[in-house]
Chains A and B, each alone.
Chain A
C-alpha cells in the first residue's frame, strides 16, 4: 500500500538511489529524475504528492527555476516541494526578496545535503500531512 508518490529530482544518481531506498522502505512510491527536463517528463506521467528538488544541477539554480515553473502550473501548484540546499545557498539567491513572496520561491522546506534518513522521513511525513496550500 503506497504512502504517497514522491518525485526526486537530483543530478547525483547515488543520492537519488539512496533516498529511493530510504523512502521506498517506508512505503512511498518514488520516481527519479536527474535534471529538470526529465522532471518535466515525469510530471507528464504522474502526479506526485511531494517533490524533492536539488538546487545545483546543470546550472547553479536549475532547481529554483524548476520549482517556480512547477508552481506556475495549475495542476501542480499545490504539490509541496522540499529543497535540498543549505541555508547559505538559499541566502545566496536573494532569499530575502523571496521570503514574503510565495510565487517567487514556492518551497515549503529546506534540507542541507547529506540528509540523514530519519530526518528525511520526518520531513517528508511532515510535508505530506500538512494541509495543502
Chain B
C-alpha cells in the first residue's frame, strides 16, 4: 500500500519536518528555561539542554543531506525518501521519549505529543509502517514508565507540578499505558483510513484528467481532419466561382453578377472561418514551438505593409513607433507575424472611416511589448471577460461586421502564452480599444543575448 503523497511532495514534507523540528528545539529550550527558572518546577534542565543540543546537530545533518539531494536536481527515489521519513519519525519518537524521561516521565502531560507523531506517520507513510511506528512508540513509552516504576531507570520528578509518587503506582502506570496504546493505534487507524480515501480520490481525479486530455486530443484531431476536408472543397468552390465572377467564362448580366458575388462573399468568409479553426486546432495539437531567432523589425514591417492597404481603403491613419534597439527576438516567426496581423486587422476592421490605429513596439525588461490602440467601437464592459473565449464575439462587433470567426483573439492568446508572454485588453481613454501583448526577447533557457 502506498502513502498518500507522491515523492516530490514527500521531499517537501521531509523538509517541513526539519523546519518543525527547529521550532520544537527552540520550544524545548525555552520551556525548560521557563519551567525551571520561573515556575519553580524541578527538572533535569542540564540533561534537557543536552537533548536539545543533540537534536540540533541531528537536524542540521538531516538538512544537509536533503539539501544535497534537492540541489542536485535529481529526484531521490520514492523508497529512499520514504526511508528517510520513516527514520525521522522513529528518531522523533526516541527523542520525545528522552525528553519525557528527563522531565517527569509519566507525570509529564507532554506525553500527548506522541499523538502528533502518529498523525504525521499516518499521512506520510503506508498503513503498516504507521502501525509499526505506533508499536515503537508504545514500546518506548511503555519501557520508560515500566523501567522507571521498577527503579531500573532513574526517575526525574516534576517536583512542584505533579504528585511524584504516581510513577511507582503499578495500576496507574499500566492503566495510562493501556489508554496510551489504544489511543495511538486508533489515531493511526482513523488517519490512515482518511488518507487512504483521499489517495483513492486523488488517483481517480488524475485518471479522469488524463482521459479528458486524451479525449480532447481525439476531438482536435477530428476537427483538424474535418476542417481540412472542408477547406479543400471550399477552395475548389471558390476557384470555380472566381472564374464566373471574374467573367473569365464570358460576361454576366447584373443579376447574375449580384448573386455570384454573394456566393463568392459567403464562400470567402466561410473559408476564413475554416482557415482560422484549422490554424487554431493545428496549434493545439502541436506540443511545442519551433522557435528561431528572427527580426521582429522585418516582421512588423511585413505586417504593416499588409495592413496599410486595408487601412488606406477605409481612410484610417495607421501610425507606428518601434524602439530603436529592438530587432532580433526569439520565437516562431510565422505565428508571431500572424498574431500581430490579426490584432492590427481587427483594429482596422472595427474602427470607422477616418479613425486612427497606432502600433507601438517597446522594450519592457526581458520582453518586447506590442501595443495596438484604435479609435474604434471598443469593447463593452460585459464582453471584456469573454473576449478571449472561443467563438465569442461581442454584440457591437457582430453588429458592425457580420463576418468574423470569433477565433482570432483565441489564436493570439495561444501564440502569446506559448511564447511565455501575456495578452490583455484595455479601454482606450479616448474611446476605442487597446490590445497589448508581450513576447520574450530571448529563449527562456538561453542566457546569451540574441544577436551576439
Contact = CB atoms under 8 A, between A and B. Distances in A.
Contacts of A88: 279, 282, 334
A22 interface: yes
Contacts of B198: none
Contacts of A117: 242-243, 246, 248
Given A14-B239, A18-B236, A18-B240, A25 B292 contact: no
A114 interface: yes
Given A14-B240, A96-B290, A96-B292, A114 B234 contact: yes
B354 interface: no
B301 interface: no
A46 interface: no
Contacts of B235: 12, 15, 113-114
Contact of B290 (A19, A91, A113): A91
Interface in A76-114: 87-88, 91, 96, 113-114
> DSSP majority for the B interface?
helix
A115 B232 CA distance: 12
Interface in A11-25: 12, 14-15, 18-19, 21-22, 25
Contacts of A114: 234-236, 238-239, 242, 271
B249 interface: yes
Contacts of A87: 334
Nearest to B245: A117
Contacts of B237: 14
A47 interface: no
Contacts of B238: 114
Contacts of A58: none
A40 interface: no
Nearest to B286: A92
Given A25-B248, A87-B334, A117-B246, A18 B239 contact: yes
Given A15-B239, A22-B242, A22-B243, 6 more contacts: A14-B239, A21-B248, A21-B249, A87-B334, A113-B232, A114-B242
Interface of B: 231-232, 234-240, 242-243, 246, 248-249, 271, 279, 282, 290, 292, 334
Interface of A: 12, 14-15, 18-19, 21-22, 25, 87-88, 91, 96, 113-117
**7 tightest Cβ-Cβ pairs between the two chains A and B:** A18-B239, A114-B235, A14-B236, A113-B235, A114-B238, A117-B242, A114-B239
